[in-house]
Amino acid sequence: MIECIDSGEFHVYAPPLGFEALRQAILRDLSLDSAFSVLVTDGAIEGLYHACRTFIGPGEEFLVTDPGWLWPRRFAASSGARVIELPIYDKAAGYRLRPEQLRQAITPKTRLIYLVDPSNPLGSVQTRAEIVEIAELAREAGITLIHDCTYRHFAGEHTLAATYYPEGTITTYSFSKWLGIAGLRLGALVAAPDVIARLAVAAPNNLGASVLAQRAALAGLEHKADWFPAVQDAQLANQASIKAAVDAVPGLDIAVYPSNGNFLAIDVSGASVTPERLCEYYLERNMLIRQGSYHTAQVGDRFIKVSTTVPSEWMAEFCDQLGEAVQVCRRQNAAGSLF
Ligand SMILES: Cc1ncc(COP(=O)(O)O)c(C=O)c1O
> What is the Å distance from ligand 1's center to 185 Cα?
10
> What is the Å distance from ligand 1's center to 150 Cα?
6
**Which fold would CATH assign to domain 2-223?**
Aspartate Aminotransferase; domain 2 (3.40.640)
The pLDDT, as a whole number, for residue 335 is 75
Find the DSSP H helices in the chain.
2-7, 20-29, 44-54, 71-78, 99-105, 128-141, 193-200, 211-247, 275-284, 312-329
The pLDDT, as a whole number, for residue 55 is 97
> What is the Å distance from ligand 1's center to 251 Cα?
30
pLDDT single digits (tens) 189-231: 999 999 999 999 999 999 999 999 999 999 999 999 999 999 9
The pLDDT, as a whole number, for residue 124 is 98
116: Cβ below 6 Å to ligand 1? yes
Q: 188 exposed, middle or buried (CB, 10 Å; 0-12, 13-18, 19+)?
A: buried
> What is the Å distance from ligand 1's center to 272 Cα?
31
Residue 339 pLDDT greater than 90, yes or no: no
> What is the Å distance from ligand 1's center to 149 Cα?
9
Using CA atoms, how far apart are residues 174 and 99, in angstroms rounded to an integer? 26
**Residue intervals in the chain for CATH 3.90.1150.10:** 225-329
Predicted model pTM:
0.97
Residue 334 pLDDT greater than 80, yes or no: no
CA 160 from chain center: how many Å? 14
The pLDDT, as a whole number, for residue 273 is 96
Domain spanning 225-329, CATH class = alpha beta
Is the bond leading into 118 cis (omega within 30 degrees of zero)? yes
3-state per-residue secondary structure call for 75-139:
HHHHCCCEEEEEECCCHHHCCCCCHHHHHHHCCCCEEEEEEECCCCCCCCCCCHHHHHHHHHHHH
**Residue intervals in the chain for CATH 3.40.640.10:** 2-223
Pocket test for ligand 1, best of 177, 186, 189, 309 (most atoms within 8 A of CB): 177
The pLDDT, as a whole number, for residue 337 is 76
Could you tell me if 292 and 304 are in contact, meaning their C-beta atoms sit under 8 angstroms apart?
yes
Residue nearest to atom 7 of ligand 1 (CA): 44
45: Cβ below 6 Å to ligand 1? yes
Could you tell me if 257 and 156 are in contact, meaning their C-beta atoms sit under 8 angstroms apart?
no
Pairing of strands 61-66, 110-116: parallel
42: Cβ below 6 Å to ligand 1? no
Could you tell me if 156 and 126 are in contact, meaning their C-beta atoms sit under 8 angstroms apart?
no
The pLDDT, as a whole number, for residue 332 is 82
- Which distant-in-sequence residues (6+ apart) come within 8 Å of 317 by Cβ? 285, 287
Tell which residue, 149, 186, 141, has the closest CA to residue 170.
Answer: 149
Bridge partner list, 63: 84, 113
Residue 143 pLDDT greater than 80, yes or no: yes
> What is the Å distance from ligand 1's center to 45 Cα?
6
The pLDDT, as a whole number, for residue 333 is 80
Could you tell me if 308 and 315 are in contact, meaning their C-beta atoms sit under 8 angstroms apart?
yes
